[in-house]
Amino acid sequence: MVMFMIWRVFSSMGNIALACTYATVIYDIMDTLKSHPPENKQMKKANVIGVSTMTMIFLLCSCLGYAAFGDHTPGNIFAGFYEPFWLVALGDTFIVIHMIGAYQVMGQPFFRVVEMGANIMWPDSNFINKEYPISLCGITINLKFFRLIWRTIFVIIATILAMAMPFFNEVLSFLGAIGFGPLVVFFPIQMHIAQKQIRTLSMKWCVLQFLNCLCFIVSLAAIVASIHEISKDLHKYKLFKYKQ
């Protein structure tokens, strides 16, 4: 029982880490902002509001979920309720709306890498690089056939995989743990140290490196726990059968 709870705690760390992966999208958002006022000032305000709101909502979900279900709290809190049906359906609808927007934002770095790579490999291909302006209701959209087709295929494959995995919560934990240590903590801290020219072995440098090590341990523990949970669930569940 104790080991079961430890694995669940470590796996939960991965889910918390996944919530912090928005940091990898900040740079793409800053590229789209106007230069006045400065991007860092705009993003500072957005970060304070966004992180505060996200923390409050997540704490309410986790605390109320644990108060209602205890150790048997499902990964998707709505999976524990069946009545009133309209309220559960409304909550699921809001989740779908949220994920549609989040999908586009969180996928931008990956989309950019693939499309830039294709542009470098085939710079003369009209299918990959040529834009076709299309006007809809007075709004002009620059359409690229490669971007439309490959993103559509990617979304279809990702959706099928998500539906096929009855232990999607553990997969999310694994993905969050992988990206948390290096992308959310290590690289930003190292860039901050280089930008501010923080002296090696100074108090501030030591604190930042301690934070690096602590988050690395958290990521490693969450990865191990997620792999353990996935391997255990593989022997118990069938594809397209949701884990209760």
> To which H or E segment does residue 106 belong?
helix 85-106
Task: Express as a percent the part of the chain with pLDDT over 70.
Answer: 86
pTM score, whole prediction: 0.65
Tell me the C-alpha to C-alpha distance, in Å, between residue 80 and each of 65, 228, 238, 243. Answer: 9, 24, 20, 11
pLDDT at residue 209, rounded to an integer: 92
Q: What is the mean pLDDT of the chain?
A: 79
Q: Is residue 197 pLDDT above 80, yes or no?
A: yes
What pLDDT digit, counting tens, does each position of 207-225 carry? 999 999 988 888 888 888 8
In a domain, 240, yes or no: no
In a domain, 243, yes or no: no
In a domain, 44, yes or no: yes
What pLDDT digit, counting tens, does each position of 59-96 carry? 887 788 778 777 777 767 776 777 788 888 888 788 77
Domain count, the chain: 1
In a domain, 242, yes or no: no
In a domain, 145, yes or no: yes
Which residue, chain included where needed, has tokens 């301690």? 210
235's tokens = 């022997």
Q: Is residue 150 pLDDT above 70, yes or no?
A: yes
Q: Is residue 107 pLDDT above 80, yes or no?
A: no
User: Quick one: CA dihedral 53, 30, 131, 140, positive or negative?
Assistant: positive
Q: Report the phi/psi class of residue 135: left, alpha or beta, with left for phi > 0 and alpha for psi in -120 to 50.
A: beta
In a domain, 239, yes or no: no
CA dihedral 184, 185, 191, 193 (to 10 degrees): 160
In a domain, 244, yes or no: no
- DSSP-based three-state secondary structure for 142: strand
**For 31-45, 53-67, 185-199, 201-215, which range has the lowest pLDDT when averaged over its residues?**
31-45
Amino acid at 48: V
- DSSP-based three-state secondary structure for 83: coil
pLDDT band at 203 (very low <50, low <70, confident <90, very high): very high
Range of the domain at 227: 2-234
Q: Is residue 243 pLDDT above 60, yes or no?
A: no
In a domain, 86, yes or no: yes
Closest CA to 54 of 65, 43, 46: 46
**C-alpha–C-alpha distance, residues 54 and 238, integer Å:** 33
